Each structure stands twice: as C-alpha cells, then as structure tokens.
Structure 1
C-alpha cells in the first residue's frame, strides 16, 4: 500500500463512520412513513403554501445522505406546522446507489437551482426557504452567490454546516505530506475534497464575504460536533446572520453532528423560529418536548 493511502484509510474510515451515524438506513416502516408524509405535504407538488407560511421549505441533505433518510423526523415536524415541504437528492456518483452528496459541490448547486425552480413553479410561490444539514447547509450558499439564488430564497438555515470547511480534528492537515493523497480524494469523492478547510472551492465560496444581500441566514451548531471541526468554522459573518450555539440554548443538549440534524427538537425549534421570526418563541431545553 502506498504510504499516503495509510493516511487516507483512517480518514476515509472516519468520514464513513460519521456518515453512517448521520444517515441511518431507512427501514421498510420508515420508508412507508416517508411515503405517507409525502402524500400529505412532503414532496407533494399539489401543496399550496398558506398565508401563515407562504414559502415552501426546501430541505437539502448532507454528504452520504439522501432526500428521505436525512429528514425522517424534521420533514414531518415542519409538515405538522403547516409548511409545504420538499427535499431533493443531489450529487450522485455513477455506480453509487442510494447515497448522494458526493459529487462536485458546484455541480450539486446547479441541481439545487433546477429543483428550486421546480418547486416555485409547482407551488406558485415567489420564494422558498432553504434548510440544510452539513454539506446541505453550505452548498446552497454557492447557489445564492453564483447562480442567481438570492432572488429566489428568503431564508437560508444551516444545521451543522461546513461553511468554512473541516479539518476533521486535524486529520486533513496530514494530506499535503503525502503526494497524490489530495488528488485521490478529489477524484473518488469530490464533495469531501471540496469541504476540506482551505479547498479551492471554499476559497471561491467565501471570497468577498460569507453572505449576499436579501437573504436571512441562520447557523445552528453544536460544540460537540466531531465532523465539522472546529465547530466555530460553521458560523458565518454578515449583517443578516444569526449564529446559534445549541448549548447556549440548552446546556444539557449533547447532540453532535448527526443528531443535531436528525432528531434534535431543540435545533428544530430554532429552525422554526428562523422560518417564522414574527412568531418566534424562546428556545430552551423545554423545546425538546414541543
């Protein structure tokens, strides 16, 4: 085995382990539940936004995830509150079934652009709100900044987003010492390479400022995040940014990267506040019961 592959093996193992924790495989019962949800609002293209919630919500999954598994808890949470909810698959690599978010992130942003247009055409809404987890909380910023998305998006909410990249607790810092390792990562899983701190993709994305005018940004992070590290790299700078550390709302919340987007109802409550700030209520530990 080439020396750099000895480094990539634990790196890949960590990434895959984190991905597996982030997106558990859907059981037959869960798939049935997702289908039932879709028939009444989740990916129901006959859904028309209400006066109370005039913008459909587009959910954007993370790396190694898909449009169902990532949102089995959160999509129904929004649906029960009267939102039209949609989710897409993006970034599939040829020959890799069921898991997505692996392709070049700029190309994934193009897929998101087409999907938003589809949702707007179906619902008749003027704009959407976007909620994304991990890569899904960062990738839409490319759409907003470079593909005209700012005119079509009201709010961008990132749950544990990789906004400024990750060093995976320092593991990615070893890549430059092993010739060919970075190229191997870029070829095999471009989205992972794009999310490494210091990547060319992130340099382009964040050049000239993190945000674009007209979009309301919210970032929800956990200090226990073990995938996007350091967790402070998730936060954005800008005049219309609300950065939230979940432990400041509830010190007892131990959710890490995966659970923050999958099941954390304290995070869910904060997302709901971001989507409807006029009716926001205080997010506390008690929000886990709401």
Structure 2
C-alpha cells in the first residue's frame, strides 16, 4: 500500500442504509473522499447534512484513493447504483474532495450514466491537473530528477498520483468533446447517439467548484474551476465569501466555512427546485 495511505484515517463516518430521501430533498448525497483519505473525512459535513434533512452516504474506494482512476470509477459506479437501488432515487448529488471530484467526472464521462447525477460539488478538485504543490516544474529538469519524482509520487500516492499531474493523458477524457472516451479527439460513439455532454461538462448536470486561494497542493488553484455557462457552472473562491478564511487543500472537506458554503448552496438548490415544481 502506498505510504500516504498508511496514516491513521481522519474521523469516522458510517452509512445508514435504512435512510430514505424526503420529497423536499429527493436526491441522496454521496460524499467522495480524495487521495490517501477515507470517508471519515466527511464526519462533520455528513452529520450536518443529515441534520439538514438530507439522505447521506459515503464510500471508501480504491485502496484509500490510491488505485488507478479506472479501477476506482468501477467501484464508485457500483456504489452509486447501490444507493439508487436501495433508496429508490432517480438521481443523486455528488460531493467530491480533490480526486473525489475528478473521479466523479471521470465516472460520468466514461460510464454514460451522467443522467443519474443532479449536481456535482467539487472541493479543490484538480480539474485541469496539478503540479503537486509546484514541485514538479522547477525540479524536473532531466531524466534523473524525473525518475526521482516519478518514484516519489508512485510510492506516496500510488498509480493515481501521476494521473492527476498536469498534462496527464486522462485529462483528455474529461476535457475533450462529447464521447471522446479515449482522448484521441474523435467521437467514440459508433451509434451516433450522443449521451454525454461536450467539453468539460455533462448534459443536465449542475456543477459547483469550490477552491481556496491558500491551496498549495492544486497549483495553480484556479485550475479547480470548470469552463461552462453560468446557468450550469458556479465557480466559487472560499475567500470571496469569507475573506479571512485560511483554508488549506487537505482541510476543504472539514473546514466550517466550506461546510457552510456547501449547505447553503444545497438548500438554495432544493428550494428553487421545489418552487419550480409548484408553479
């Protein structure tokens, strides 16, 4: 197991498979942890969301989020299907920290099941890649240092580490056109029926991307944001709402200010949806 995954988990969060969504909040929320973390990181947010009346679940996946994204996406997909089957919900809301947000996007793009997602909230997700705190750019100047960095990232983060680096081939899957599953720039839909979105987004899915200007892991932090129309994508700096908030990358899922931003946004979205159905 990679070194980063051997640390003691942060917090404890347990699923309640007897929970059912309400008519006012009909979408179960699935919380997706990041690399070398566990679902315990959602202890505070998960408890608060349940108190707000949401039906909340959280998986552990991919050897504490260190397995290759292709492997973790299969596990995430099975978990989402289990939640939908047991709760009877048509759609879910996904909230992902770091790789968790990226993994949600990868699963939606490659599985063709984005229609089951109402809203994706990402916290510090490296949507366009990261230099792992900027260490790669200045240090990788020749083959020797490149090999050292590769070994370091592999041993600490596992196979998924390099998949999140700026320029990784996997970003062609996320950020190219619709149905370009292999990232070659050509459509992979031989049937001619497009069930995916285009560019960085999936059709019918709303996005909220939350980032902190103090993030020293995803560099530069603005790469957390997605490109898309304002009615579908909301890009949020924590410091634009709480100017004095000092939030590091690893603290995004647990920080009280970030938790408040998430809860307020979800409440507003649910209220707007309910109002829409009443008129």
The DSSP-based 3-state class of the residue aligned with 2:208 is strand
- Which ranges of 4 or more aligned residues in structure 1 deviate by more than 3 Å? 23-26, 182-188, 278-281
Q: Would the aligned equivalents of 1:185 and 1:193 in 2 still touch at CA under 8 Å?
A: no
Alpha-carbon distance in 2 for matches of 1:84, 1:138: 23
Match of 2:265 among 250, 253, 274: 274
Q: Within 2, Cα distance between the matches of 1:276 and 1:176?
A: 48
**Offset of 1:45 from its aligned partner?**
1.1
CA shift, 1:187, in A, is 5.6
Mind listing any 5+ residue stretches in structure 1 that lack a counterpart? 1-11, 93-99, 282-290
Structure 2 residue 57 is matched with structure 1 residue 65: no
Matched, 1:85 2:56: yes
CA contact (8 A) 2:20 2:55 kept: yes
In the superposition, the TM-score normalised over structure 2's length comes to: 0.80
In the alignment of these two chains, the number of paired residues is 243
**Pairing partner for 2:165 from 193, 196, 201:** 196
SS at match of 1:220: strand
- Superposed, which structure 2 residues align to 1:46-195 within 5 Å? 46-68=18-40, 70-92=41-63, 100-173=64-137, 174-175=139-140, 177-178=142-143, 181=147, 184=151, 188=155, 189-195=158-164
Structure 1 counterpart of 2:234: 242
Q: Which runs of 5+ in 2 are unaligned?
A: 178-198, 273-279
Which moved further from structure 2: 201-210 or 47-56? 201-210
Cα distance in 2, alignment partners of residues 201 and 122 from structure 1: 32
Deviations 1:197-228 (A, max 9, x none): 11111232212211111000000000000111
Structural RMSD (CA): 2.5
The farther-off stretch of 105-114 and 228-237 is 105-114
CA 1:280 to 1:145, structure 2 compared with 1: closer, same or farther past 3 Å? same
Q: Which among 233, 253, 268 is matched to residue 223 of structure 2? A: 233
TM-score (norm 1): 0.77
Contact 1:157 1:274 in 2 (8 A): no
Whichever structure has more helix as a proportion of its residues is: 1
Please state whether the residue corresponding to 1:217 is helix, strand or coil: strand
Q: Is the 8 A contact 2:9 2:38 kept in 1?
A: no
1:42-99 CA distances to partner (integer Å, 9 max, x unpaired)?
x11111100121110000000000112x11111101111111110001111xxxxxxx
Q: Compared with structure 1, are the counterparts of its residues 278 and 183 closer, same or farther at alpha carbon in structure 2 (3 Å cutoff)?
A: closer
Distance 1:280 1:135 in 2: 29
For residues 246 and 186 of structure 1, do their structure 2 counterparts lie closer, same or farther at Cα, with a shift above 3 Å needed? closer
CA contact (8 A) 2:25 2:270 kept: no
